[in-house]
Chain A
């Protein structure tokens, strides 16, 4: 068992009561690692206790984040100092740092934790790094201004949202070659892969979510969502999309791709992720300095947790504290 130090269960009496109170929407032991860009740190949030348990300094205004529950790592990307960092998920200790000269922004990990991918906003490429050694193995060429990245659950492909090219690039990860350049909506930023394998992009400029098949490269559908969609996560058979300017989360059903709910959250919602049990969706509210906790079944906000200044949480930022996967 690995536990965050600040989580050590010294307050046993309280904790015997709490789970009963919040049992309907708790992912036991999940932690959220929220990059706070303005205060240059990382908030570690215990989603069980609904409180911040630690604050780790991360210089250089971090935005991108990626966790590897199996390896026990959390990576951050600081664009101001062009630095990729790796922390021990359990202790918060910094394990490694490397400078990526360019405009590092988005980040994703291979499912086996072997490789980490970082997009270069300014130079239309992706750094491919060995995640353990943090050394650059190679680079992949994308369209202009790649932002969000996502890797297939089976590790077979990597996709980048090429914001200023209005496209998503899909790379074969076995051969490290471009498989498709898929035209999507205007200025895609966040990307996510649904449990059914379909690829979704949040298109900031057209207020749409584009649905594509990463294997064939076909565009399957476009979903109208709120103003300035940013990030996407999946839970309970639905997609949850943060709408930056609308201060809402749009919920669309995966079976018919229709928007079935719109949930008011904090101001400038950005990063979004789901707990390991699929019960809770967590949204970072950049202007409000909070995360909103959404019950994925009832689609209502069940709580809020304060963070540092300017939470972005751009990437997958939730991990079980004990390192297990679902």
Chain B
């Protein structure tokens, strides 16, 4: 089992009282990978909002509402009792093989972002292959001016990129060994 990249983000700092404001500049990350299986097969693995077991960092997925709008899920990371990320589904389209969700609750010590939303899409890539695209939009973990390095824009981008890369790598490996 590979080390969990985003658990390495743990920084153990204490923020001032929770605030609603966010940093000044929203960031975006788009990663994609070609997977050696037809889109229908890949979507069958990743298209269920209630099952994120395909991602190596996710230990468990619990939730309700299936793939309906406003369905929720809680991802437990790493191991039983590990840190959690709460998410809500706001778009799901089996025909387009795409879903969109946002984080409703996560500690910045777990994932140093706020106002995070994300889209996962499978597209045909020809020759029976697929292109999986994962996009995220978010603000850094520190809502005010002059963020500490572990909660600045670069840290947020690095953390999200790490999650996406680990997930895409796992999908590439999963279908390559079939």
Question: Does A associate with B in a complex?
Answer: yes
By a CB distance below 8 angstroms, the chain B residues around A102 are: 145
Q: Are B21 and A245 in contact (CB under 8 A)?
A: no
Quote the shortest CB–CB distance from B155 to chain A (angstroms). 15
Q: Are A268 and B137 in contact (CB under 8 A)?
A: yes
B55 at the interface (CB under 8 A from A): no
B123 at the interface (CB under 8 A from A): no
| Beta-carbon nearest neighbor of A165 in chain B | B20
A310 at the interface (CB under 8 A from B): yes
By a CB distance below 8 angstroms, the chain B residues around A287 are: 28, 135, 137
Interface residues on A, range: 20 to 34
Quick one: given A122-B144, A122-B145, A287-B137, are A103 and B20 in contact (CB under 8 Å)?
no
Q: Are B20 and A187 in contact (CB under 8 A)?
A: yes
Quick one: given A245-B100, A287-B137, are A61 and B25 in contact (CB under 8 Å)?
yes
Residues of A within 8 A of B (CB): 37-38, 61, 63, 79-80, 102-103, 105, 121-122, 144-145, 163-164, 187, 227, 245, 268, 286-287, 310
Quick one: given A227-B90, A245-B90, are A310 and B20 in contact (CB under 8 Å)?
no
Q: Give 3 nearest A-B pairs by CB, closest first.
A: A79-B24, A164-B20, A61-B25
Q: Are A38 and B102 in contact (CB under 8 A)?
A: no
Q: Are B21 and A121 in contact (CB under 8 A)?
A: yes
Name the interface residues of B95-130: CB closer than 8 Å to any CB of A: 100, 102, 117
Quick one: given A103-B145, A245-B90, A287-B137, are A121 and B28 in contact (CB under 8 Å)?
no
Q: Are A121 and B24 in contact (CB under 8 A)?
A: yes
By a CB distance below 8 angstroms, the chain A residues around B102 are: 245
The CA of A227 and the CA of B145, in the complex, are separated in Å by 28
Q: A79, A105, A164: which contacts B19 (Cβ < 8 A)? A: A164
Residues of B within 8 A of A (CB): 19-21, 24-28, 90, 100, 102, 117, 135, 137, 144-145
Quote the shortest CB–CB distance from B146 to chain A (angstroms). 10
Quick one: given A122-B144, A245-B102, A268-B137, are A286 and B21 in contact (CB under 8 Å)?
no
Q: Are B26 and A286 in contact (CB under 8 A)?
A: yes
Quick one: given A122-B144, A145-B20, A245-B90, are A79 and B137 in contact (CB under 8 Å)?
no
Q: A61-B24, A103-B145, A144-B21 are in contact. List 17 more A-B contacts (CB 8 A).
A: A38-B27, A79-B24, A80-B24, A103-B24, A103-B144, A105-B24, A121-B21, A144-B20, A164-B19, A227-B90, A245-B90, A245-B100, A245-B102, A268-B137, A287-B28, A287-B135, A310-B26
| Beta-carbon nearest neighbor of B100 in chain A | A245
Can you show 14 pairs from A to B with CB atoms below 8 A apart?
A: A37-B26, A80-B24, A80-B25, A103-B145, A105-B24, A121-B21, A122-B21, A122-B144, A122-B145, A144-B20, A163-B21, A245-B90, A286-B26, A310-B26
Q: Are B20 and A79 in contact (CB under 8 A)?
A: no
Quote the shortest CB–CB distance from B90 to chain A (angstroms). 6
Q: A61, A227, A310: which contacts B28 (Cβ < 8 A)? A: A310
By a CB distance below 8 angstroms, the chain A residues around B27 are: 38
By a CB distance below 8 angstroms, the chain B residues around A145 are: 20-21
By a CB distance below 8 angstroms, the chain A residues around B21 are: 121-122, 144-145, 163-164
The CA of A173 and the CA of B27, in the complex, are separated in Å by 36
The CA of A122 and the CA of B19, in the complex, are separated in Å by 11
| Beta-carbon nearest neighbor of B69 in chain A | A227
By a CB distance below 8 angstroms, the chain B residues around A286 are: 26, 28, 137
By a CB distance below 8 angstroms, the chain B residues around A38 are: 27-28
The CA of A103 and the CA of B27, in the complex, are separated in Å by 17
| Beta-carbon nearest neighbor of A147 in chain B | B21
Quote the shortest CB–CB distance from B72 to chain A (angstroms). 15
By a CB distance below 8 angstroms, the chain A residues around B90 are: 227, 245
By a CB distance below 8 angstroms, the chain A residues around B24 are: 61, 63, 79-80, 103, 105, 121
Quote the shortest CB–CB distance from B133 to chain A (angstroms). 12
By a CB distance below 8 angstroms, the chain A residues around B20 are: 144-145, 163-164, 187
By a CB distance below 8 angstroms, the chain A residues around B144 are: 103, 122
The CA of A69 and the CA of B125, in the complex, are separated in Å by 48
The CA of A310 and the CA of B29, in the complex, are separated in Å by 11
| Beta-carbon nearest neighbor of A40 in chain B | B25
